[in-house]
């Protein structure tokens, strides 16, 4: 469920009419529903109440400070993947003890900052990284906590770019190597291995792959127990799929009913790292029709949002539902047309939708690209020297700019003219 609905043929976010926001702040514009965001977090927490997991929202999905603060206020921890995200997490007020840090390429500086901050643990992705963490902790005279990220080699049945738990992916450590590392753990004097981590992919719509991965982990945890190795945490990652089109993803409740019995068997404290499940359908991208272009082969609707604003269609051929902010009734304007909705960027890959049935559109119409709350703004760029969009958070009939639109000066702020060209 989300809070984007038509009332009298006008699309609203909560009790705020979206066209009014588009006129006030301009387009392209990201709009998030505060209550949807919090509601999704609470749905997951309630579904798993019986085991009281630590839910660490995955910052990369939508890293705006206000979004992070809203979730942290509800008790969420954060899953980070860089020093930049650590900076955001702390700035948003997240207690360090609720921060977990994954990434195959943590730099020494990033590791040092995270140890100093006192995060809950690193999700370690290789032996080389583990040794580096141990070295840095020794230099700082601290003990670092880590979880070993296991690559369980399961098929999550999602897009190949967002599959992460197969042995051909760069993520995690295979069971055999992980076992060896754990057996030799005493050689690491400044590191404590407190848990195991998996994250098998993203936009996973059924519980079967999770159950398969968790079962493998249960077996592994048993063999470790026999070898006298006791752990505290099992981090099952994120990846819960959402509805973009006609998917029928598992609900939080259904997911819980499938995996809870398995998670109980581990006897460990459970951590989850959902990103998309919480943020995805909490946000939309509002864009305006610039031109209608008819060619011998196609009808193009050219809008003012491009792949720099929302790269998912270009990068993954992802489907996002696109709807007009004003719903037209039956009659002439209600007629549907097959169109390509494209952005202004100089690339043929710059599309938001291809071969899409849309009501008749005209210049100046506003459209909402649905399901853009996760991996929307956070993956946006200044390509073509376009200004990154503004972000607005709506709560009831109130709206708040939580990121101002880039200015022209933002584009060149860090650029320097070498002396010989002055
Ligand atoms: N934990 C780890 C270690 C991850 O790598 C990710 C996402 C998550 C949690 C959160 O996954 P989620 O619950 O959001 O599926 N840009 C792509 C998605 C990339 C996901 C990367 N890792 C997209 O737009 O579909």
Could you identify the residue written with the tokens 């407190």?
A: 194
Q: Would you say 277 and 38 are in contact if contact means Cβ atoms under 8 Å apart?
A: no
CA distance 236 to 135: 27
pLDDT at 164: 83
User: For residue range 264-298, what is the model confidence (pLDDT) as tens digits?
Assistant: 999 999 999 999 999 999 999 999 999 999 999 99
pLDDT at 86: 98
User: For residue range 346-387, what is the model confidence (pLDDT) as tens digits?
Assistant: 999 999 999 999 999 999 999 999 999 999 999 999 999 999
Pocket test for ligand 1, best of 37, 43, 56, 58 (most atoms within 8 A of CB): 58
In the reported structure, the alpha carbon of residue 40 is separated from the centroid of ligand 1 by a whole-number distance in angstroms of: 16
- The β-bridge partners of 368 are 286, 323
Mean pLDDT of the region 134-138:
98
Mean pLDDT of the region 303-324:
98
Those residues with Cβ within 8 angstroms of residue 297's Cβ, 6 or more apart along the chain or in another chain: none
User: For residue range 44-102, what is the model confidence (pLDDT) as tens digits?
Assistant: 999 999 999 999 999 999 999 999 999 999 999 999 999 999 999 999 999 999 999 99
CA triplet 125, 131, 136: central angle to 5 degrees?
Answer: 110
**Is the pLDDT reported for residue 20 higher than 70?**
yes
pLDDT at 158: 82
CA distance 68 to 60: 11
Which residues have a catalytic role annotated?
346
Model-wide pTM > 0.85: yes
pLDDT at 271: 98
pLDDT at 330: 52
Which CA distances in Å does 333 have to 6, 71, 362? 18, 41, 10
Which CA distances in Å does 271 have to 139, 236, 253, 274, 398? 29, 6, 17, 10, 34
Residue from 348, 341, 315 nearest 202 by CA: 315
The atom number, within ligand 1, closest to the CA of 204 reads 15
In the reported structure, the alpha carbon of residue 278 is separated from the centroid of ligand 1 by a whole-number distance in angstroms of: 12
Mean pLDDT of the region 127-141:
97
CA distance 242 to 101: 24
Mean pLDDT of the region 202-220:
96
Could you give the percent of the chain with pLDDT greater than 90? 94
pLDDT at 333: 53
Domains of the chain, start order: 4-31+280-412 (2.40.37.10), 103-272 (3.20.20.10)
Q: Is the CB of 312 under 6 A from ligand 1?
A: yes
Q: Is the CB of 85 under 6 A from ligand 1?
A: no
Residue from 422, 398, 342 nearest 35 by CA: 398
- CA-proximal residue: ligand 1, atom 23 (nearest): 375
pLDDT at 2: 84
Give the phi and the psi of residue 192 in degrees, each rounded to 5: -115, 120
Model confidence band, residue 315 (pLDDT cutoffs 50, 70, 90) = very high
The atom number, within ligand 1, closest to the CA of 201 reads 15
pLDDT at 157: 80
**Is the pLDDT reported for residue 331 higher than 80?**
no
**Is the pLDDT reported for residue 25 higher than 90?**
yes
User: For residue range 139-185, what is the model confidence (pLDDT) as tens digits?
Assistant: 999 999 999 999 999 988 888 887 888 888 899 999 999 999 999 99
How far apart are the two ends of the chain, measured CA to CA in Å?
Answer: 56
Structure tokens at 19: 């066209």
pLDDT at 251: 94
pLDDT at 162: 78
CA distance 129 to 193: 13
CA distance 40 to 277: 7
CA distance 399 to 124: 40
């Amino acid at each position: 469920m989300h809070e984007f609905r038509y009332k009298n043929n006008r699309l609203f976010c909560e009790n705020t009419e979206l066209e009014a926001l588009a006129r006030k702040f301009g387009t392209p514009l990201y709009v998030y529903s505060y209550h949807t965001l919090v509601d999704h977090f609470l749905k997951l927490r309630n579904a798993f109440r019986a085991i009281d997991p630590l839910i660490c929202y995955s910052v990369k999905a939508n890293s705006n400070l206000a979004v992070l603060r809203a979730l942290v206020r509800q008790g969420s921890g954060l899953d980070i993947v860089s020093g930049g995200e650590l900076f955001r997490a702390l700035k948003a007020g997240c207690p360090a003890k609720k921060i977990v840090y994954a990434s195959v390429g943590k730099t020494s500086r990033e590791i040092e900052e995270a140890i100093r901050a006192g995060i809950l643990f690193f999700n370690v992705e290789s032996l080389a990284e583990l040794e580096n963490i141990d070295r840095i902790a020794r230099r700082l005279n601290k003990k670092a906590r880590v979880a070993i990220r296991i690559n369980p080699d399961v098929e999550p049945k999602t897009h190949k770019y967002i599959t992460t738990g197969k042995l051909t992916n760069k993520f995690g450590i295979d069971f055999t190597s992980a076992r060896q590392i754990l057996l030799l753990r005493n050689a690491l004097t400044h590191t404590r291995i407190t848990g195991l981590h998996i994250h098998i992919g993203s936009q996973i719509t059924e519980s079967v792959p999770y159950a398969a991965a968790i079962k493998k982990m249960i077996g592994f945890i048993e063999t470790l127990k026999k070898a006298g190795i006791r752990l505290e945490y099992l981090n099952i990652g994120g990846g819960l799929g959402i509805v973009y089109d006609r998917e029928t993803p598992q609900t939080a409740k259904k997911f819980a009913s499938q995996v809870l019995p398995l998670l109980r068997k581990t006897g460990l404290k459970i951590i989850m790292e959902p990103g998309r499940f919480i943020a995805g359908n909490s946000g939309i991208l509002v864009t305006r029709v610039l031109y209608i272009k008819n060619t011998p082969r196609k009808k193009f609707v050219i809008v003012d949002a491009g792949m720099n604003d929302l790269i998912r269609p270009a990068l993954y051929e992802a489907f996002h539902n696109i709807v007009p902010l004003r719903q037209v009734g039956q009659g002439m304007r209600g007629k549907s047309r097959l169109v390509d909705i494209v952005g202004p960027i100089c690339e043929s890959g710059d599309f938001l939708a291809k071969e899409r049935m849309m009501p008749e559109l005209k210049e100046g119409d506003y459209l909402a690209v649905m399901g853009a709350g996760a991996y929307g703004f956070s993956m946006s760029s200044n390509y073509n020297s376009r200004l990154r969009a503004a972000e607005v958070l709506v709560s009831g009939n109130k709206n708040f700019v939580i990121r101002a639109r880039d200015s022209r000066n933002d584009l060149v702020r860090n650029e320097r003219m070498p002396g010989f060209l002055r």
